[in-house]
Amino acid sequence: MTIPGLPTVADSALPASVRTGSESDKQAYKAALGFEQMLVEQMVTTMAGDSGPLAEGPYAQQMQTTLSSAITGAGGLGLAQQLYKEMK
């Protein structure tokens, strides 16, 4: 099940404790992680500003998306885990 408006999150991106949990746990963590991904994307877009290598050129948007995906894929900011704890 995907949550409308949030990026799709693969089960492999979930911590082991969540993967072995209930379907409700998985959905809650995916929602939290999707929100964190959206937040990181907005932060990267804001940091890129109106000029510079991340803001200009034909690949600027792809660079921003790739950077935000890399940040989230490397463990993110830890926000998803905190949101998940609060949602439980």
Give the pair of three-digit tokens for residue 21.
Answer: 């949990």
Note the pLDDT of residue 5: 63
Model pLDDT, residue 3: 59
Give dist(CA 78, CA 64) in Å, integer: 20
| E strand map for the chain | none
Sign of CA dihedral 32, 37, 40, 41: negative
Q: State pTM to two decimals.
A: 0.75
Q: pLDDT tens-digit profile of 12-71?
A: 778 888 888 898 998 888 888 888 988 998 999 898 888 777 788 888 888 888 888 888
What ranges do the domains of the chain cover?
23-44+55-87
